[in-house]
Structure 1
Amino acid sequence: MALSDGVMRKAILSYLYVMIWIALSFSVIVYNKYILDRKLYNWPFPISLTMIHMAFCSSIAYLLVRVFKVVEEPASMTRDLYIRSVVPIGALYSLSLWFSNSAYIYLSVSFIQMLKALMPVSVYSIGLVFKKDTFKSDTMLNMVSISLGVAIAAYGEAKFDSWGVMLQLLAVAFEATRLVLIQILLNSKGISLNPITSLFYVAPCCLVFLSLPWMIMEYPLLRDTSSFHLDFVIFGTNSLCAFALNLAVFLLVGKTSALTMNVAGVVKDWLLIAFSWSVIKDTVTPINLFGYFIAFLGVAYYNHSKLQALKAAEAQKKAQQADEEAGRLLEEKEGEGTGKKSETQG
């Protein structure tokens, strides 16, 4: 009975972590859309918004890591490793956030979520380029089905904006490249960064990289806009939601798995599409839904395949450990037998 209670408690906590992550991710997406959309809050400065997020997250992460020492820095993080590994990852992250936030000005929340279904396709393709993945015909067929579904959804989009689509596709490409480079530049060296240490190292890089386009593209507009004033309630709560989302990722992945977050992401996307249609009153056409449903099936199959691969790897690891343990016991018995034989002969 105690075991059943323990299993039930673990299941309840897992669902709680999933709900917290979905709620925060949902809130950040809708909040960013509200701020950036010209018909809502009407503050179309995506670089500035991203820099505000990064400045806030950098400050909190610094306090947690250096002042309160809630999280320890990786001992193997050297200046050379930081420059060669973290800086490129920070550059890609800044571009991903910049273009992703920019897309909210031109596209609906629902259509952006449909385009984000291309993330597995992008990660797999870039993984092939960097030789982190091997080509498999069934996986490629799965990627084609996802791409086809997104293409149908795009064909049925009522307010299609080619510039917005290009921005979102670039954001997906940069984010996928960042994820692959994390595996190559950090994980392969035995360095694993949780969201807090990631922000501690990466967020300042983002600020530096974004400062140049900000000075050229947005600062002159903000300087010449006499009516502009920074609403600390709006931007403070928005930044707090963004930081809390990073903590929720840490909680969800740490207590469950990255695969759980991928599956929860599919649920979140459907909720956002429903919210976008029912509350924001974005137009969602039947062709939109049909195309995204095809992409959804492809993503679901992709997640299922990853789960099966993880289970197979775990089973192989357990079998290897069992073989090693059996070998060790056999050696101990042989050693005991040799010792007894020596005592008899003596």
Structure 2
Amino acid sequence: MGKGGSLSDSVLKKILLSYTYVAIWIFLSFTVIVYNKYILDKKMYNWPFPVSLTMIHMSFCATLAILLIKVFKFVEPVSMSRDVYLKSVVPIGALYSLSLWLSNSAYIYLSVSFIQMLKALMPVAVYSIGVLLKKENFKSNTMANMLSISFGVGIAAYGEARFDTWGVILQLGAVAFEATRLVMIQILLTSKGITLNPITSLYYVAPCCLVFLFIPWIFVEYPVLKETSSFHFDFVIFGTNSVCAFALNLAVFLLVGKTSALTMNVAGVVKDWLLIAFSWSVIKDTVTPINLFGYGLAFLGVAYYNHAKLQAMKAKDAQKKAQEADEEAGRLLEEREVEGNVKRIESEN
């Protein structure tokens, strides 16, 4: 009874911790999205400079990561050659900077709810790019699922009351760059046996992002900011916003590390529905029935995709356990044969 009780307590504790990690990630992701919308939207804080905002985030994250690694020795840096850095980290940094720039820019033109609906295309983009780069195997049933998600998002876009073509192009570009970045991480870093936690990843990637973002910033936003003499840097707004962005990076690592990437995908769907409800009830974004119907179709497609991935993971684990059991049985059989041969030799002597 004691053992059974301790086991139940252990399982319950694990479940509660998993839900806590999910809740922390949803809260921080929710906060960063709404906060960025507040800063960038012309009807709210009215500071429509997405490149500058992204550079502030990257500067804060890079500085904090350098302090934690170089000064406080909180985390050990990863051993990485110059060749690996240039071929692996730099392309990922470029893609990350483009993804953040475009996604933040989209908040100027689109509602929070519609952006979350467009983000449902992320599995489609990741799978399609994975197939193109030969990281995923093409399967007709999976592609049919991807088409159903795309169809649902298309209906949601058709019913969008505040549709803006340029905003949609920006958000779709952000999805494409982010999906490419995720596949590149899998190909470049995993294949080289490099694992990065959120602090070391920011330590290596954030400076790259700053360099790449500086190019459009100097030509697009710097001249406007220079002319806006009335602008003053609000340390409270941008400081707390940057802290939230850094905390979100830690929460992503915590959630994926303590649960799984699949759990994060499922939690992302919950977060999207919460954001849609929040933007409709608090921000007063217009959400039409066609919006909800289209996103509902996309949601079902994403849910099926996550379910299929879960089943594939279970099948893979079962196959691995069966293989290990066969190897163990073979090893025991060999040991018994050796023992039998030894005994036979001893009896003959």
TM-score interval (norm. to shorter): over 0.9
CA distance in structure 1 between the aligned counterparts of 2:232 and 2:326, rounded to whole angstroms: 67
Larger mean CA deviation between 26-35 and 308-317 belongs to 308-317
Residue number among 62, 68, 74 corresponding to 2:72 in the alignment: 68
- Once the two structures are TM-superposed, the CA of residue 194 in structure 1 deviates from its matched residue by 2.0
Larger mean CA deviation between 187-196 and 225-234 belongs to 187-196
Residue number among 69, 89, 93 corresponding to 2:92 in the alignment: 89
Query: Which aligned pairs between 1:50-65 and structure 2 lie closer than 5 A?
Result: 50-65=54-69
CA distance in structure 2 between the aligned counterparts of 1:317 and 1:233, rounded to whole angstroms: 52
Residue number among 192, 210, 213 corresponding to 2:213 in the alignment: 210
- Alignment match, 1:29: 33
Query: Which aligned pairs between 1:185-334 and structure 2 lie closer than 5 A?
Result: 185-334=188-337
- Once the two structures are TM-superposed, the CA of residue 221 in structure 1 deviates from its matched residue by 0.8
- Alignment match, 1:336: 339
Gaps of 5+ in 1: none
- Alignment match, 2:169: 166
- Once the two structures are TM-superposed, the CA of residue 336 in structure 1 deviates from its matched residue by 1.7
Q: CA RMSD in A?
A: 0.9
Deviations 1:66-95, CA, capped at 9 Å, x for gaps: 2223323333x2110000111001000000
Residue number among 12, 18, 28 corresponding to 1:14 in the alignment: 18
CA distance in structure 1 between the aligned counterparts of 2:26 and 2:87, rounded to whole angstroms: 34
Deviations 1:245-271, CA, capped at 9 Å, x for gaps: 011111111110000000000000000
Deviations 1:13-66, CA, capped at 9 Å, x for gaps: 000000000000000000000000000000000000000000111111112222
- Alignment match, 1:125: 128
- Once the two structures are TM-superposed, the CA of residue 342 in structure 1 deviates from its matched residue by 2.0
Gaps of 5+ in 2: none
TM, length-normalised to structure 2: 0.97
- Alignment match, 1:112: 115
One-letter amino acid of the structure 2 residue matched with residue 21 of structure 1? W
- Alignment match, 2:102: 99
SS of the residue corresponding to residue 193 of structure 1 reads coil
CA distance in structure 2 between the aligned counterparts of 1:218 and 1:308, rounded to whole angstroms: 47
- Once the two structures are TM-superposed, the CA of residue 195 in structure 1 deviates from its matched residue by 1.8
One-letter amino acid of the structure 1 residue matched with residue 10 of structure 2? G
How many residues matched?
345
CA distance in structure 2 between the aligned counterparts of 1:318 and 1:72, rounded to whole angstroms: 34
- Once the two structures are TM-superposed, the CA of residue 102 in structure 1 deviates from its matched residue by 0.2
Deviations 1:124-178, CA, capped at 9 Å, x for gaps: 1111110111111110110010000000000000010000000000000000011
One-letter amino acid of the structure 1 residue matched with residue 23 of structure 2? M
One-letter amino acid of the structure 2 residue matched with residue 43 of structure 1? W
Deviations 1:163-213, CA, capped at 9 Å, x for gaps: 000000000000001111111111122222222221111110000000011
SS of the residue corresponding to residue 131 of structure 1 reads coil
SS of the residue corresponding to residue 114 of structure 1 reads helix
Kindly report structure 1 stretches of 4+ aligned residues shifted beyond 6 Å.
none
- Alignment match, 1:144: 147
- Once the two structures are TM-superposed, the CA of residue 118 in structure 1 deviates from its matched residue by 0.3
CA distance in structure 2 between the aligned counterparts of 1:179 and 1:223, rounded to whole angstroms: 36
- Once the two structures are TM-superposed, the CA of residue 232 in structure 1 deviates from its matched residue by 0.5
CA distance in structure 2 between the aligned counterparts of 1:80 and 1:170, rounded to whole angstroms: 28
Deviations 1:88-107, CA, capped at 9 Å, x for gaps: 01000000000000000000
Matched, 1:40 2:44: yes
CA distance in structure 2 between the aligned counterparts of 1:199 and 1:126, rounded to whole angstroms: 24
CA distance in structure 1 between the aligned counterparts of 2:198 and 2:326, rounded to whole angstroms: 37
What's the % identity of the aligned pairs? 78
Larger mean CA deviation between 317-326 and 19-28 belongs to 317-326
